[in-house]
Amino acid sequence: MIDLLRGDTIFTLGRNMDFSYRTNQLIAILSVVVAAIGWILIGDISSGLYVGGGVFLTWSLSRDLDPKHAYSAFLAAAFAILNVFYYETIQLLVIFWIILLIRIVNNITGKSQTFFDLFSVLGLSIYLSFTNENSLYLLVYLLAMALILVDKQKSKKVLFVSGISLGLFIIETFFMGYLTFNYREYLSPIHVVSLILLGLSFVLFWFLSKEKAEDDKGHPVKRYELLAGQFLYSVTILLLFLFSPLAINNLIIYLSVIVGVGCYFIGCKLLKRG
């Protein structure tokens, strides 16, 4: 899916899926196996495919957030397998959108953003905002553009798309009523745990961003860009939790990324000390 898109001079947000690497072979096999298990347990082939796709995108998200440790993504993917035991729906397009936003901010592909990158992700943000009647997607896009502008000189293309998204956000929010607080039973155990993990993720990513990592071109990733992408992820999930009817299966995927990456990072530190 997302990793099968090859980045070029027009679209730079794709990452090659080279099957000569053992990790890529393993995640492909794992995704197919989970899809088959999901089909058997849930009793529907499309649901099984969604669960398998969710495992793959969990792995992809983790690889973008923690490029230093290849196997932390597998731990996250393992947690995401929980979706086979309780399945309602998985919004794969939203996960795909988050991945693209992270790659725009952290430059993990090693290529500079193009107009096509910015406008294609803006277009997807607009599509999600209208289909879900939620201007939150435009707000997150604005945050991503702001994080880019903080680190770089003012870019006309970034300012241009920011102006478009800001205008649409104002229209959708104040004239169409597309942004409303999602009232939940926030004291329920799953919601309490979710909020705690989201809060801890900011601390986790602060320390994780200190790990030296390389982009797809073999160049060092700037700490600010890596941390900005991680920060964007935590804020995005928190906003989705508060201002959207977040599907439980998507929440499991988002939290699996945090738990998987966090456990692997802490485990590595403990092993080094030992």
Average pLDDT, the chain: 92
**187 vs 79 pLDDT, higher one:** 79
What digits encode the pLDDT tens for the residues 137-184?
Answer: 999 999 999 999 998 766 889 999 999 999 999 999 999 999 999 888
Averaged pLDDT, 257-274: 93
- Cα–Cα distances in angstroms (integers) from residue 163 to residues 28, 81, 96, in the given order: 40, 40, 23
| 203 CB-near residues (< 8 Å, 6+ apart) | none
Helix, strand, coil percentages, rounded to 5, for the chain = 70, 0, 30
pLDDT at position 1 over 60: no
Question: What local confidence, expressed as pLDDT, does residue 273 receive?
Answer: 84
In which band, very low, low, confident or very high, does the pLDDT at 268 lie, cut at 50, 70 and 90?
very high
User: CA–CA separation, 13 vs 101, rounded Å?
Assistant: 9
Averaged pLDDT, 262-270: 94
User: What are the beta bridge partners of residue 214?
Assistant: 220
Phi-psi region of 212 (alpha: psi -120 to 50; beta: other; left: phi over 0): beta
pLDDT at position 56 over 50: yes
Question: What local confidence, expressed as pLDDT, does residue 20 receive?
Answer: 75
Question: What local confidence, expressed as pLDDT, does residue 187 receive?
Answer: 80
Residue bearing tokens 């009793």: 43
What digits encode the pLDDT tens for the residues 187-204?
Answer: 889 999 999 999 999 999
Could you count the other beta carbons within 10 Å of the beta carbon of residue 145? 26
pLDDT at position 38 over 90: yes
Side-chain-side CA neighbours of residue 255 (13 Å)? 21
